[in-house]
Amino acid sequence: MPRIQFLLLSFLILLSIQASAQEKKVEKVFTFKIDRDIDPAMNRRVKLALEDAEEQKVDLIIIEMDTYGGAVNDADDIRTMLLESPIPVYTFINKDAASAGALISIASDSIYMAPGASIGAATVVNGTDGMAAPDKYQSYMRSMMRSTAEARGRDPKIAEAMVDENIAIDGITTEGSVLTFSVSEAIQHGFCEGEYASIEAILQAKGIENAEISNYEVSYTETIISYFLNPAISGILILVIIGGIYFELQTPGVGFPLFASIIATILYFIPYYLNGLAENWEMIVFVVGIILLAIELFVIPGFGIFGVLGIVCILAGLVLGMLPNQNFDFQFVPSADLFAALLTVILSSIVAVVLIFWLTPKVNEWGAFKTITLAATQQRSEGYTSSFYQNELLGKVGVVHSRLRPSGRVEIDGDIYDAYSRGEFIDQGEEIIVISTEGTSLKVKKHQA
């Protein structure tokens, strides 16, 4: 009997130790926000956040969602990242998960919604007038919604009805309107696991009492990249790019204008490239424009087709690098973004041209510029002259010493000088008069007594 009591006591102690260990276990929870339009910049933010979560070896990722949607291609990238994430992902819809936001939410392992939140309305619209995009885009979105819902064990027909207004589901939606769920409706039909007011409430409901919560912090590098995406900064860089190219072509070999232009080009394109806006071919168009302009200036005389094409390619590369177009497809590029890009490049180019014409006469006066290039001029008023002889010889009368054919020698006041006529031959002994002392020979003509 004592032995049985001892074993029972040991078992109870073991259970107590195990329960205590479980209570003390700290789960690492990582959170970040999708709180604005789904675009290349948000695509990059999600990618970096998920990579950060994996590096920290967290146990759970929670996305706080509040967006009206955005670009389909970026939403597709994000939903793929969530589906392939080795770490469980929850989405907390804090008010809105519309369109692309609904697709991303459905790709998460669990969905939770705040009071008054909604999910759905995933019809694809274009970026110019907000009207529904052509059916090929709707079909693509429907297929993504279906496959994503299937992958997460949710009803694919309901997910598809969030895109297609022609789908009718008994007791859920009628034909003629796209499906949008309130919190209670989403819970009822399996598109939400519960209604909670905060992430902390979700963790408490899941029994995660001692969670170590960390939030995604934007790195210093990303802050700098965002700074250079500002249209005002982009405009200044365009000024430097155009001005640098112009002054380098005007004073080849100086190097500084070209160096400044190259640095400005790098600072202009790299932030847009990292955010998925500028593509390789757009930067190539810019470089081709510079090459065409150089050919026009240095190889082909005048200003013609190569110069015009060069300018067009340079401006096109700068504009396209700011926009999330897909091979000249501007279907989903917001009109505001397109207008902002065009306005930034055009205004910056105009200001650059004005500054070039205003600064060019003043450049030679800069002390710094004089140290790297010959900017001084030799004025006659300062004593400089191209004459090899004294001006006193001008108007002097002499005789031909050796026949001018049309060059030869003349004698003036007993001295012999090299001379040439205006093309006529003048025989030895004939009188001449000096009409110019420029250069190393005197210019003379027959003297009419």
- pLDDT 10s digits, 278-304: 888 888 999 999 888 888 777 776 567
CA terminus-to-terminus distance, the chain = 158
Percent helix, strand and coil across the chain, each to the nearest 5: 50, 20, 35
Is the distance from CB of 318 to CB of 329 less than 8 angstroms?
Answer: no
**Rounded to two decimals, what is the model's pTM?**
0.65
Q: What pLDDT does residue 20 have?
A: 47
353-365 in b/e form (b: 16+ CB < 10 A) is eeebeeeeeebee
Is 312's pLDDT higher than 50? Answer: yes
Rounded mean pLDDT, 147-153: 94
**Predicted local confidence at residue 373, as pLDDT:** 53
Q: Which residue has the higher pLDDT, 133 or 56?
A: 56
Question: If pLDDT is split at 50, 70 and 90, which confidence band does 23 have?
Answer: very low
Of 269-273, 309-313, 436-440, the range with the lowest mean pLDDT is 436-440
Q: What is the 3-state secondary structure (H, E, C) of 117-161?
A: CEEECCCCECCCCCCECCHHHHHHHHHHHHHHHHHCCCCHHHHHH
**13 has a pLDDT exceeding 70:** no
Tokens found for residue 3:
């032995």
**pLDDT at residue 192 above 50?**
yes
**At residue 244, does pLDDT exceed 70?**
yes
What is the pLDDT, as a whole number, of residue 22? Answer: 45
pLDDT for position 121: 87
Assigned token pair, 288 = 């081709």
- Residue 1: pLDDT above 50? no
Which residues are bridge partners to 62 per DSSP?
Answer: 31, 90
Q: Please, are residues 24 and 210 in contact by the beta-carbon 8 Å criterion?
A: yes
**Are the C-beta atoms of residues 47 and 74 closer than 8 Å to each other?**
no
Q: Which residues contact 445 (CB under 8 A, 6 or more apart)?
A: 421, 422, 424, 432, 433, 435
Q: Which has the minimum average pLDDT: 7-11, 193-197, 429-433?
A: 7-11
Rg (alpha carbons) of the chain, rounded to whole number: 39
**Spatial distance between the Cα atoms of 121 and 69, rounded to a whole number of angstroms:** 9
pLDDT band at 197 (very low <50, low <70, confident <90, very high): very high
- pLDDT at residue 24 greater than cutoff 50: no
Report, as an integer, the average pLDDT of 331-359.
79
3-state secondary structure 309-342: HHHHHHHHHHHHCCCCCECCECCCCCHHHHHHHH
Which pLDDT score is estimated for 21?
45
For residue 371, pLDDT beyond 70: no
Q: What are the structure tokens assigned to 255, written together?
A: 């190097």
